[in-house]
Amino acid sequence: MGRPPCCDKSGVKKGPWTPEEDIILVSYIQEHGPGNWRDVPTNTGLLRCSKSCRLRWTNYLRPGIKRGNFTEQEEKMIIHLQALLGNRWAAIASYLPQRTDNDIKNYWNTHLKKKLKKLHGSGGYCRHGFSSSDQISRGQWERKLQTDINMAKQALSDALSPEKSSGSSLTELKPFGGYASSTENIAKMLKGWMRKTPLKPGSTGADDHSRKEEEERCSKGMSEAFEPLFAFESFDSSNSNDFSQSMSTEASLSLQDETKPDLVPHAGQLSLLEKWLFDDAANHGKDCQLTDITLAENPMFLF
DNA sequence: AAGGAAATCAACCGCTTCCGA
DNA sequence: ATCGGAAGCGGTTGATTTCCT
């Protein structure tokens, strides 16, 4: 006996969202905030299942999302994080707050996979960035990963304690992930819709120009806010620690999207991960293929 | 210009995880 | 401790667009 569907299939609309549906969804979220997805279809009258609403919001309508044209730095970051975390797209996306997990996943599957293949020839890359010979140690690696994540979570909650966070730059950086500050963006978006001419079917409906402007604004803001984050030039083996450092706690905290759960490693956790990876490499010497992967299989280190 | 192939990406599906009762 | 429902996630699909012949 299978699990019942998340929603009643009959009377539920599927396929591309119309601009009108987008407006309804955005208006509702503007008023109530994201969450309680199961109530969204009932309260809005949208003939969509809750999942579809959530997906539409997180992958497309959520403010601060940058679309198309991944920068070289983003590309490198994705490759690096994919090597570290595997296909944990949500985790990877948490380090690239302007990008959705879906976007990153698509970009990986359509662009980066091919790029890596080209660079490596037929062999080399395999799922999760582990060569087949690493499979034995992977369980061990994951256990350690979990421990590190827990440690970093503890560190994060410490860092988030009121006395420590008050007056920090966190509040200044929050807008990119925070919902509350997103209302302005939504308002602008809606404004765009008001004066829009009908778009091609399946488009989100936001006025292209105003959205572009908005994206550029967001992008500019993001690049300014996260300049330290993207300050690294390359991820060769000698400066991967710089990467960890560049993901300062503050920056990493700001990267946390409020709409995303705190399930994934943060920068601090990444630091721990990387530290462990390199420590482990040092401890095991030739036995640790992780370093080999990082240095030889991960083409980013060849950039 | 037309038709087919390839690429892209939004959206769906189904499994897993989380959380409250 | 367990159960059930909701949310989250990754894999996959399919419609659309772009490129090539």
What are the pLDDT digits (tens) for A26-84?
Answer: 888 888 888 788 888 888 888 888 889 988 998 888 888 887 788 888 888 888 888 88
Handedness of CA A223, A58, A168, A246 (dihedral sign): negative
Q: For residue A3, which nucleotide's C1' is closest to its Cα?
A: B14
Q: Round and report the angstrom distance from CA (A56) to C1' (B7).
A: 23
Is nucleic acid strand B under 7 Å from A16's C-beta?
yes
Question: A67-71, A170-174, A211-215, A271-275: which has the minimum mean pLDDT?
Answer: A170-174
- Report the percent of chain A where pLDDT is more than 90: 0
- Find the Å distance, CA of residue A3 to C1' of nucleotide C4: 11
Residue A114 has pLDDT above 60, yes or no: yes
Compute CA distances A3 → A6, A7, A9, A51, whole Å.
9, 11, 13, 15
Give, in Å, how far the C1' of C2 lies from the CA of A37.
25
3-class SS of residue A143? helix
Nearest nt by C1' to A51 Cα = C7
pLDDT of residue A302: 37
CA A90 → C1' C9, Å? 7
Q: Which positions of strand C lie within 7 Å of protein CB atoms?
A: 5-12, 15-17
> Could you tell me which residues come within 8 angstroms of residue A132 by beta carbon, excluding any fewer than 6 positions away?
A126
Residue nearest to nucleotide C9 (CA to C1'): A90
* Contact, A55 CB vs strand B, < 7 Å: yes
Name the protein residue, with chain letter, whose CA is nearest the C1' of C5. A6
- The whole-angstrom separation of Cα A33 and Cα A51 is 16
Summarize pLDDT for A214-226 with one digit per residue, the tens. 444 444 444 444 4
What's the CA gap between A213 and A215, in Å, rounded? 5
Nucleotide nearest to A200 (CA to C1'): C16
Q: In chain A, what is the straight-line distance between the N-terminal and C-terminal CA atoms, in Å?
A: 51
Q: Is the pLDDT of residue A253 over 60?
A: no
Give the C-alpha separation, A51 to A30, whole Å. Answer: 18
